Amino acid sequence: MQRILIDTDPGVDDAFAIFLALRSPELHVEAITTVCGNVSVTQATQNLLTILGVLDLDEFPLIAQGEAEPLVKPLVMATHVHGDDGLGNVSQLRNTDGSPLYPQANTTVSSAAGVDLMLEMAARYPDELTIIALGPLTNIAKAIRKDAEKMQRLQKIVLMGGAFEAYGNVTTTAEFNIFVDPQAAHEVFEFDVPIHIVPLDATHQVILTGERLHAEIDKREGTISHFLKDATHACMEFYREHVGFWGFHIHDALPIGMLTRPDYFESVPAHVQVETEGTLTSGMTVADLRPERQHRDPNANVCIKVAVEAFLDYFFERLQ
């Protein structure tokens, strides 16, 4: 069993990842911290409680709210993709009696800051804890700044972010999580801890069509299935209009899959750097992924290939 801390900015695809992590017996989710990104950090925390409320859990992970602003630049959010509330506007859905269709989990948010909870978990489980980063890396960079010694004892960081041989999804060169806080990404990649990156190069291989999603949902009953159908509607319509297919990429579920089914993923070592200042390239992740061109010591493993159908089958099996 692997001890993990999820750092997240929920986000529709974050919801998929959280469901998968909490339905994976190989993982023990010790804590979840929220961070600004897809939505404000306050909304991210509310969304996390909604996601956890969908699950029938006997025990909840520790929860703490993290950083509200990137290290340097103003916050850029993605509500135009994920809906005004970040979860396809499910917060607006009501039962006939006016109560929320998806009530929040009956659990509390720690009074500790997200960075402090992260450091507490790193100290409690030295050399055991993996951080799964599903949003901008602001919390992790702040934790490194505050106590590098504790963070040095992480087992590894697995993150969704970056684009190398693929186009970005915010600008031509930058993926959203890195674009939101490139300075934080730079500091994390410069830190001496094992890092595994699942970039757009990999996540764009996994297209979950609306037809496949609805077919899988129709096979199942229960709150999770109804939630996924409601939460993904706005996102899939955005993809239909702007990307060209009805469906979406479940980006953030892939780092969870990498931990639980590593045989579905192929990675290469690389020296990854982040452009923090470029007018046209801010947030660009730069690395030469060609094995014969590795002239600097690698600081990360970059996922380049996913067994797509096997991963999607596995994902829906776990949600039963």
Q: Whole-angstrom Cα distance, residue 71 to residue 93? A: 35
Rounded average pLDDT over 125-139: 98
251 as an active site residue: the answer is: yes
Rounded average pLDDT over 212-230: 90
- Which pairing describes strands 207-209 and 247-249: parallel, antiparallel, or unpaired? antiparallel
Rounded average pLDDT over 142-153: 98
Question: Which residue in the list 28, 186, 251, 295 is annotated as catalytic?
Answer: 251
Q: What is the DSSP string of 296-311?
A: S---EEEEEEE-HHHH
Of the candidates 33, 47, 278, the one whose C-alpha atom is nearest the C-alpha of residue 142 is: 33
Cβ count near 266 (within 10 Å): 12
Where do we find the tokens 């496949």?
A: 212
pLDDT of residue 227: 95
CA dihedral sign of residues 163, 167, 168, 173: positive
Structure letter (DSSP) for residue 74: P
Let me know: does 31 contact 63? Beta carbons within 8 Å.
yes
Rounded average pLDDT over 127-150: 98
Please state, rounded to an integer, the average pLDDT across all residues of the chain. 96
280 or 56: which leads in pLDDT: 280
Q: What domains appear along the chain, each with residue ranges and CATH number?
A: 2-318 (3.90.245.10)
CA dihedral sign of residues 262, 173, 131, 238: negative
**SS3 assignment, position 132:** strand
pLDDT of residue 222: 83
- Residue 101 tokens read as 């269709």
What residues contact residue 3 under an 8 Å CB cut-off, 6+ apart? Answer: 28, 30, 125, 128, 129, 130
What is the per-residue pLDDT across 234-256, written as a single tens digit (0 to 9) for each? 999 999 999 999 999 999 999 99
pLDDT of residue 235: 95
Rounded average pLDDT over 127-131: 98
Rounded average pLDDT over 123-152: 98
pLDDT of residue 320: 72
Rounded average pLDDT over 7-18: 98
pLDDT of residue 72: 97
Instruction: Please report which helix (H) or strand (E) contains residue 32, including its range.
Output: strand 27-34
Of the candidates 90, 101, 73, 81, the one whose C-alpha atom is nearest the C-alpha of residue 39 is: 81
What is the per-residue pLDDT across 174-202, written as a single tens digit (0 to 9) for each? 999 999 999 999 999 999 999 999 999 99
Q: Is the pTM higher than 0.95?
A: yes
pLDDT band at residue 219 under the 50/70/90 scheme: confident
What is the per-residue pLDDT across 256-298, written as a single tens digit (0 to 9) for each? 999 999 999 999 999 999 999 999 999 999 999 987 776 789 9
Let me know: does 140 contact 131? Beta carbons within 8 Å.
yes
pLDDT of residue 189: 98
